[in-house]
Structure 1
Amino acid sequence: MKNQVYFLLIGLTLWCCKGESPEQPVFRHDIAEGPAPWTSEVFEETEADFTFAIISDLTGGERPGIYSRAVANLNQLDPTFVLSVGDLIEGGTEDTLQLKKEWDSFDARTAKLNMPFFHLGGNHDLTNPGMREFWKKRYGPRYYHFRYRDVLFLMMDSEDYSEKRMYEIYQARDTALRVINGELEGIYEESTYYNMPERRLGSLGAEQQAYFEQVLEAQKDVRWTFVLMHKPLWMREDKNGLGALEAVLKDRSYTVINGHFHSFSHRDRQGMEYYILGTTGGAQDPEDPNAFDHISLVRMADKPVITHLKLEGILNSSEPIPLAIPPGER
């Protein structure tokens, strides 16, 4: 330690003798010799990694204030950008004025983020052809990809049906809701909508599948690929599932993330990690221990380091924090 300080002083003296002003060292102190109360003087001055965040479902009965709190928390955590896995509005309507009101509300809250936000649609956002058209005019494509540094992101539309099939699902959903609300006789679990595979697992169309196959072919040099969707297409085992794309993905490192179930879970599949996120303000089952509000923070180092932060566990000066206990009462 003494020798390091000595040579640093010699170097500074030589610079001064040349009449030049040397760049000041980042870390400076006045301990010239002996032990020091820190572990290292080597600092990661320029980080090669970056961090991004993911929010999950807001809807199915959004609870007020949760998403706004998440936005405030994200600004404090300061990720490079924020992604979503869909169900951002209640939707489920053909009333364009109502859709505008709901999207205006979501976008106004999201605009308070200090970093870019990437939209992704879920079944509440893309319930019928009219909502598809509304999305197209406001946000552009329903599925897309982007690359940040050497990491690839596939943003998928799990509501990828033909217009005819979309109307069938929409009408069956409307009937099921009437049963739930007591407007029609019947049992929801026996309804046509309840037994449609699209209700839980969504669908991936041939055109979208071809698009992502081309993207993967053109982006072979990335070190990691993230695949985001709303419904778990990877659970669907026919041609409308993720199977064909998983075959293309098998020779690369990737992570799959979706929402929809409002219950957090994780599993290893084909040697990779698959996450189903909980909620960021959406409806919850009070009996489900894995139903909680959270944001996911992903630090992209050599491989992803993923931390799921429960909103109730993120404390700051604007949130209720336990008051200090007076010394005499401890």
Structure 2
Amino acid sequence: MNNILKHLLIFCLTISFFSCSLNRKFESNRKQTEANPWTHLNFKDQTKDFNFAIVSDNSGGRRPGVFEDAIQKLNKLKPDFVISVGDLIDTKDYKLDSSKFDDKLIKERWLEFNNITKQLKVPFFYVAGNNDIRNSKMETHWSKQFGATYYHFKYKTALFIVLNSEDKPGSKYGEISDHQMNWLKTILEENTSASWTFIFLHRPMWLYKNNQDWKKIEELTMNRKLTVFAGHHHTYSKATANGHNYYGLATTGGASSLKFEKGQFDHISWVSVSDSIPQISNILLNGIWGDNPSSLEKK
């Protein structure tokens, strides 16, 4: 019996040793002393921290190859996931009369776009823009492929909310229906413990004076830790209200003069969440290079 206990103890100690070795974050041939050739050993806690990326408009005069390039570069950067702010397919050549819309063309545009996002090695989250669901026929195509036009999800301790600013297709300043507003209120009430709330929508509704729907959203989110992202204007902007940051993103392949001084450029927004607090950086696509020198000649 003593031999069994002895062997069992040795086994447990061995497992414990290997477990500690596997969980060890840092090993060195140097012993820890007062003087070391490093600043500190407070490594980032991957169990709490995370990164995600945001892509912006790809329509209104799409420039082929730009969005595709962004997806390949995101695969190199390896965010936890990528989310959009709408206007994913180009409908510049569509007529507004829904009776004349070509279902075949709509399917082709979505097939082209979805074949690009399939190349991404991390999850991609869709957001509806005015060029994606500008009428009932396009809404039907959206619903068949993606289901909801507004939804939420939780990642780590953060809450992510995707709104549909196109509740009334053709609305100049965006609109949130009563049904969607009630849904938003319920989601917020059910997730009061979220460490941070991120909202994504296509139109930057806070820029439109006296937009009553956005005022309601501000009232609902008044006491939350919140950051909001939108697109639509193809020009980068930042606004602050109630202590919350609202970002209007530029483009990721959509129509643009590419005049940097006017806030027009192709980029991805990179969000690093550390200790539940987000830090936002913007990375220009032409500033991300691979390790092949020949790739630099194409810039």
The TM-score, its normalising length taken from structure 1, stands at 0.77
| Cα distance, 1:139 vs structure 2 | 0.6
RMSD: 2.3
Match of 2:146 in 1: 139
Match of 2:160 in 1: 153
| Cα distance, 1:208 vs structure 2 | 1.0
Superposed CA offset, 1:30-74 (max 9, x none): 334863322234434544111111000001111111111100111
- Write the mapping of 1:92-241 to structure 2, written as runs, cut at 5 A: 92=94, 94-161=101-168, 166=169, 169=170, 198-199=171-172, 201-237=173-209, 240-241=212-213
Match of 2:5 in 1: none
Match of 2:39 in 1: 39
Match of 2:221 in 1: 249
SS of match in other structure, 2:197 = strand
Change (3 A) 1:31 1:277: same
| Distance of 2:129 and 2:296 partners within structure 1 | 35
| Distance of 1:19 and 1:285 partners within structure 2 | 65
Match of 1:87 in 2: 87
- After TM superposition, the runs of 4+ consecutive aligned structure 1 residues lying more than 6 A away are none
The TM-score, its normalising length taken from structure 2, stands at 0.84
Amino acid at match of 1:136: S
Count residues in correspondence.
273
Amino acid at match of 1:153: F
For the pair 1:308 / 2:282, whether they are aligned, the reply is: yes
Instruction: Tell whether the 8 Å contact from 1:205 to 1:240 is kept in structure 2 after alignment.
Output: no
| Cα distance, 1:321 vs structure 2 | 2.5
Change (3 A) 1:32 1:246: closer
- Aligned counterpart for 2:266 among listed residues 293, 297, 303: 293
| Distance of 1:73 and 1:143 partners within structure 2 | 28
SS of match in other structure, 2:14 = coil
